[in-house]
Structures are given as C-alpha cells and as structure tokens.
C-alpha cells in the first residue's frame, strides 16, 4: 500500500468515526441514535479489519470507492444501513443448471458498489 493510499484509508476511517460521533437518527429517539452509532462503529471496524491485508491496488481502490459511496448515501438519506436493492427474485430459475448460474451472475454484476462487502460480512 502506498503512503498516499494509506493516508486516504486512514482518513476515511477517521471520517467514519467523526460521523458516528455526531450521528443523529432520523426519528430523533435516543435509543435509536445510540443503536445506529454503534452500528456505524462496528460496521467500520469489521470491514476495515477484514480488508487490512488487501494488497491489490485495484481492490483497494474498489474498497475506498465503496466506503465513500456508503458514507455519501448514509449522510444523504440519514440511514446508516446499506440501502436495499430491488432485483427480480430468482423464482423462475430451476434449482440447478445454466439458468440459475446465469441469474446468479447477473445479480452479482448488477449489485451496486456500496453493497459489495455487505453480504460477505452479514
């Protein structure tokens, strides 16, 4: 990891914790605010620890882009949780075969950048 990339990653980590410190839930309830603050901190710790050994510059850049996207979406919608995506269900595919593999591939490709790591951790 280059020193510039390292500074960028550490800056994002600090930015997330500053956001968590100032976070206010949409409902304004104290319990919900505390719960959302904890979620933000735990999610950041989990994902940053999971990706600390990543050395591939392209993968690092993708993780940085995902982090920035999640920060912007969370601040815009005032929701710390990843926004759900609405893809058609895979109910039409058989349990096995090319159709299922093709639909799984399409779902993976169509997943937005801000949800790439969410399913891996959750």
Tens of pLDDT, residue by residue over 62-75, are 899 989 989 998 99
- In Å, how far are 7, 38, 55, 99, 115 from 80, measured between CA atoms? 24, 10, 28, 35, 13
* CA geometry: angle 65, 82, 30, nearest 5 deg: 120
Distance CA 25, CA 15 (A): 18
Average pLDDT over residues 44-56: 92
**C-beta separation of 54 from 116 below 8 A:** no
Residue 122: predicted pLDDT? 46
**Overall pTM surpassing 0.75 (yes/no):** no
């Amino acid at each position: 990891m280059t020193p510039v990339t390292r500074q960028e990653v550490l800056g994002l980590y600090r930015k997330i914790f500053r956001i968590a410190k100032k976070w206010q839930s949409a409902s304004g309830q104290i319990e919900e605010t505390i719960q959302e603050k904890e979620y933000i901190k735990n999610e950041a710790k989990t994902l940053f620890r999971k990706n600390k050994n990543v050395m591939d510059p392209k993968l690092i850049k993708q993780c940085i882009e995902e982090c920035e996207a999640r920060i912007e979406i969370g601040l815009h919608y005032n929701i710390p949780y990843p926004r759900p995506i609405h893809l058609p269900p895979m109910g039409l595919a058989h349990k096995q075969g090319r159709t299922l593999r093709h639909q799984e591939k399409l779902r993976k490709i169509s997943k937005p950048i801000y949800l790439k790591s969410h399913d891996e951790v959750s």
